[in-house]
Amino acid sequence: MSRGKKLSYGMAINEALHQIMEQDERVFVLGEDVAKMGGDFGITKGIWAKWPERIKDTALSESAILGLSCGAAVCGLKPVPEIMFADFLGVGFDQITNNAAKLNYMYQGKAHCGITVRAPQGGGIRCAYHHSACVESWFMNTPGLVIVCPTTPYEAKGMLISAIKSDNPVLFLEHKALYNVKGEVPEEMYEIPLYEAEIEREGSDVTIVATQIMLEKAHKAAAQLEKDGVSCEIIDLRTVFPYDKDAIQKSVAKTGRLVIAQEGVKCGGWAAEISAMINEDVFEYLRGPVKRVTGLDSPMPFSPGLEDYVMPQQDDLVKAIREVMEY
Amino acid sequence: MLSNERLLKLYRDMVMIRRFEEVIETYAANGTVPGFVHLSIGQEACQAGVVDCLKKTDYKFPDHRGHGAIALCGTDPKLVMAEIFGKATGVNHGRGGSMHVNDLDCGNMGFNGIQGSTMVTCLGTAFNAVYNHTDAVTAVFMGDGTLGEGTCHESMNMSATWKLPIIYCLVNNQYAISTKYTEAHPQQRLKTWGEGYEVPSFYVDGNDIEAVVEAVESAVERARKGEGPTLLEFDTYRWQGHFAGDPAAYRPDEEVQAWKDRDPVKLCRKTMLDRGIAEGDIVKIEEEEEAHVQEMLKFSLESPFPGIETATTYTYADREVETR
């Protein structure tokens, strides 16, 4: 790969869209304000100028945006719908869970629903409870669906290319608090495989599984605890569902301890799923209880102090890691 | 006015799907057909009429009461029946059953068990035709009940704005399960919903096969010319309850009888006799289709159930799910 240049997370996604659209005429984009304006967060800018027929501004109709995408995908196109905020997926929920996720099964693989639904999620931007949710857990109860949560600009570009090339429906959940974070990104098109987690930091005492903004907090917590002699291994989950069971199990086999850092609410989250899997499958590896560090079971408040309180922070992670280290 | 030849063909189709449904009803009642089925007896003219105006390459979205249309889309109907029986020989190998029979080879896109869902999926097949410059049209069946779903309104708004080649086949069979359409909608004629979105909308006697075909042909022509969607409200009636076994006590007997007196199959038969078509030719069709349906039934009953080995296959395009 070429030497990377510095790109923001948002512009890495933009570059991925431009490159895949250049290469594959089946790819098209639709959504609210995506064409002339280039999207509410500017992620689709420049596409309309190049390919006005391949990017469509729509009415405020999430069901229609997603339903159209499903139908077009079955015909062999590669739709990349944008849902302005992941919270709005609730309006089109049926099209994701009952339609997109089941079409491959329904047609016995004779047609696929290869849609990539892009939607920004997550808190920390002071927008309260209808523009801040992490929605992975709303959807991971749905076999047939792939849920991707990229963290770095490098991941965002490579995983978007893989998602669009996939014949599965992919929910590509971007974190809006990461849009302006810069990182090295190769100029050419490249793929980062779905379903594979990445070990970002090796360690021997405790495994931390995290995604998106919780990863930075995990790294800071690990650096803090290193001074006390605690060695943390950090796994970037990348694909939240179906997740990389092997990578987590191998790490826990080594460390014997697991802390899962999930931004979204605690109840029924993917952290609970991973915790249950470890307890069921490899209980003998564990030296202590699996801990979850998550958002509180509350809607996201608006006022900065309140939002920070509801979201899981570095201190919460440090506390949880210290607790499991007591075993 | 349709040619005698076309009338005979449509009559054959209607006789076949009438007998098909009667057989399903019998075998649902005795427990041989698993699950529940929604019978389309009484609605044969709109089912046969719509399908007859479409090509194999056109996209057809049947509704949940869609056995008739599905059996006419081009799939060998015995494979459709076997699917409804949950058999391995079914067109979808017993994965979908009554509500999800699909066959992409003949443009049957299948129904989605959630009312209104196909109303937005159909935007995508129509969009594909525009995107790839083909002349394929998309026909989507919906009921009076479906119109309560928001997806209908998103769909008509978008298809009318973008002039997508869609024919909304609104089968107004008067009831959404037990609720008369006038109790759920403010309009006497549901086609006015379409007019609100500037979708050309027409009322059609859904039990008159000639009226159905004429209306669908003009809608198909508009769609192929790039003039956008059309809504056709087919006024008709389902004779049976909502599902096989529903006694439908919510409907007055006189109303049911009045609609049975306007049986679309008998109306077509009468039209043919009035035009001088020999009764012998008509009876021959009836006998042939009876034998045809009996052959489907034999095939369906004798076919094995699917093995469990592949029950979860095709959940993903590129990976298997874990088994127990």
Contacts of A109 in chain B (CB under 8 A): 313-314, 317
Across the interface, whether the CB atoms of A70 and B110 are under 8 A apart is answered no
Angle at A209 between CA A204 and CA A213, to 5 degrees: 125
Return mean pLDDT, chain B: 97
Q: What is the DSSP string of A92-108?
A: GHHIIIIIIHHHHHHTT
| DSSP run (H or E) holding B21 | helix B4-29
* Mutation site, B98, B112, B133, B149, interface A, largest A CB count within 10 A: B112
pLDDT for residue B52 is more than 90: yes
| Whole-number pLDDT of residue B324 | 85
Over residues B179-201, the pLDDT tens digits come to: 999 999 999 999 999 999 999 99
Q: Left (φ > 0), alpha (ψ -120 to 50) or beta: where does A45 sit?
A: beta
Q: What is the mean pLDDT of residues B77-105?
A: 97
pLDDT for residue B38 is more than 80: yes
Q: How far is A29 from chain B (nearest CA, A)?
A: 12
Sequence length of chain B is 324
| Whole-number pLDDT of residue A1 | 58
Tokens coding B151: 């997806």
For the entire predicted model, the pTM comes to 0.97
Q: Does A162 touch chain B (CB under 8 A)?
A: no
Tokens coding B261: 């007196």
Which pLDDT band holds residue A3 (cuts at 50, 70, 90)?
low
Q: What percent of chain A has pLDDT over 90?
A: 98
A231-to-A228, A259, A284 alpha-carbon distances in Å? 9, 13, 21
Over residues A76-127, the pLDDT tens digits come to: 999 999 999 999 999 999 999 999 999 999 999 999 999 999 999 999 999 9
Residues 264-303 of A with CB under 8 A from B: none
Residue of A nearest to B102 (CA): A107
Q: What percent of chain B has pLDDT over 90?
A: 98
| Whole-number pLDDT of residue A268 | 97
Q: What percent of chain A has pLDDT over 70?
A: 99
| Whole-number pLDDT of residue A100 | 98
Q: Does B60 touch chain A (CB under 8 A)?
A: no
User: Measured between CB atoms, which of A61, A73, A107 is closest to B124?
Assistant: A73
A131 belongs to the catalytic site: yes
Q: How far is A68 from chain B (nearest CA, A)?
A: 4
Contacts of B120 in chain A (CB under 8 A): 63-64, 66-68, 70-71, 95
- The span from the CA of B324 to the CA of B322, in Å, is 7
Return mean pLDDT, chain A: 97
Q: What is the mean pLDDT of residues A270-296?
A: 98
Token pair 């979860």: residue: B312
Q: Which of these, B87, B89, B83, lies nearest to B108 by C-alpha position? A: B83
Which pLDDT band holds residue B76 (cuts at 50, 70, 90)?
very high
Residue B303: CB partners within 8 Å, gap ≥ 6? B82, B85, B87, B88, B89, B90
| Whole-number pLDDT of residue A45 | 97
Q: What is the mean pLDDT of residues A198-217?
A: 98
Contact A242, B319 (CB under 8 A): yes
| Whole-number pLDDT of residue B241 | 92
